[in-house]
């Protein structure tokens, strides 16, 4: 069943109470941009939509491939298991829509599970994924995840930092002390070093930000990460990957 939920951008009064002035909002055209947040029954997408509208952008939460095709940019979030996620994505025809969006050069942001299923394969449920970025999704292993000799809990849950490996526009406001919210037991491992943008330490160093051409993806949840997370979302919403 196709479904679409519309979320309006902030009013002038709301923008004036945010970090962005109304004049800045108009200058970057954020009140006229339409962003599609892909709905494939994988978690609460309302928090992503609220974060996007909070910074002044219009968005829809949808599983309608036509609406996704019309959107100017795409956010691909999600929580849950790779196997059931890919089943939903294929059943709804979203695999083709996402690949077409990527091929067209449309900016795409993956979040958490959305970051994992853009890879070729996930160890979770032995799942073949979308294959937009070459590489695998690996599981944290109890025998590897240690700090000062003590085993760390899996899943990795809570606040952690990013170590930048290369510059990227959406991370241009990142400060060394900024922390982001994680909740995951798996992580992406791209084949190409050039696709690795940031890492995070949790017993091991794992890729927490990856990207290729017009797609950028975070293992953490920017929509749940306070001001630093909103900064990432704002930068994505004006990012021109060309």
| CA–CA distances in Å: residue 126 to residues 83, 91, 202 | 7, 18, 24
30, 124, 156, 223: the catalytic one is: 223
| Token code pair at residue 241 | 């990957």
Report the 10 Å Cβ neighbour count for 25.
21
Using CA atoms, how far apart are residues 210 and 115, in angstroms rounded to an integer?
8
Nearest to 227 by CA among 69, 5, 55: 55
| Token code pair at residue 229 | 């997370």
Instruction: Reply yes or no on whether 237 is catalytic.
Output: no
30, 112, 129, 237: the catalytic one is: 112
Using CA of residue 23, residue 76, residue 225, residue 161, what is the dihedral sign?
A: negative
Instruction: Reply yes or no on whether 195 is catalytic.
Output: no
Instruction: Reply yes or no on whether 221 is catalytic.
Output: yes
30, 156, 221, 237: the catalytic one is: 221
Nearest to 233 by CA among 23, 21, 47, 2: 47
| Token code pair at residue 1 | 């069943």
34-38 vs 73-76, strand pairing mode: parallel
Do residues 140 and 156 make contact, with C-beta atoms less than 8 angstroms apart? yes
Cα Rg of the chain, angstroms: 17
* Catalytic residue IDs: 112, 221, 223
């Amino acid at each position: 069943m196709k479904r679409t939920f519309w979320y309006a951008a902030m009013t002038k009064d709301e923008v004036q109470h945010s970090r962005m002035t109304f004049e800045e909002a108009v200058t970057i055209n954020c009140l006229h941009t339409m962003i599609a947040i892909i709905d494939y029954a994988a978690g609460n997408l309302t928090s992503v939509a609220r974060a996007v509208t909070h910074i002044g952008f219009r968005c829809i939460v949808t599983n309608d491939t036509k609406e996704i095709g019309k959107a100017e940019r795409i956010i691909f979030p999600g929580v849950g298991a790779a196997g059931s996620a890919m089943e939903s994505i294929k059943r709804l025809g979203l695999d083709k829509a996402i690949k077409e969006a990527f091929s067209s050069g449309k900016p795409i942001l993956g979040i958490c599970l959305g970051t994992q299923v853009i890879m070729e394969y996930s160890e979770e449920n032995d799942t073949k994924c979308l294959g937009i970025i070459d590489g695998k999704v690996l599981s944290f292993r109890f025998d590897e995840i240690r700090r000062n000799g003590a085993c760390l809990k899996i899943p990795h849950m809570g606040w952690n930092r990013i170590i930048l490996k290369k510059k990227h526009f959406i991370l241009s406001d990142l400060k060394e002390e900024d922390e982001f919210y994680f909740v995951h037991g798996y992580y992406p491992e791209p084949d190409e070093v050039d696709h690795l943008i940031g890492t995070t330490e949790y017993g091991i160093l794992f890729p927490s930000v990856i990207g290729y051409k017009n797609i950028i993806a975070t293992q953490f949840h920017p929509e749940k990460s306070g001001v630093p997370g909103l900064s990432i979302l704002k930068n994505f919403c004006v990012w021109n990957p060309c």
